Amino acid sequence: MKDIDLYDDVSYIKSMKVTAIIPDDLVKEVVEKTHAKNITESLKIALTEWLKIQKLKELNLMVSEKPLDFKYSAKTIRDKNRQ
């Protein structure tokens, strides 16, 4: 049996229709905070921002586990830039 591709070539817009039970007060607050035109746009903004925060948390965790190692000091770079 072939897997169904939700994002096949037939789809005009790469989106998924979702039915979810979300408390009214939560939706209302999201709409107010995002200043979007409608609920759909508000949820897109909120989910996009949430994903950005999660990616930053993952990156912070990676850096805390293995800190970046810089080859040159700030002074060395400044001196090179001034040459």
Q: What is the pLDDT of residue 4?
A: 57
- pTM for the full model? 0.65
- If one compares 9 and 47, the residue with the highest pLDDT of the two is 47
Give the lowest-confidence range in 14-18, 22-26, 27-31, 43-47. Answer: 14-18
Report d(CA 16, CA 13) in Å as an integer. 9
Structure tokens, 30: 């999201």
Indicate if the pLDDT at residue 55 is higher than 70.
yes
Q: What is the pLDDT of residue 77?
A: 92
Structure tokens, 11: 């789809």
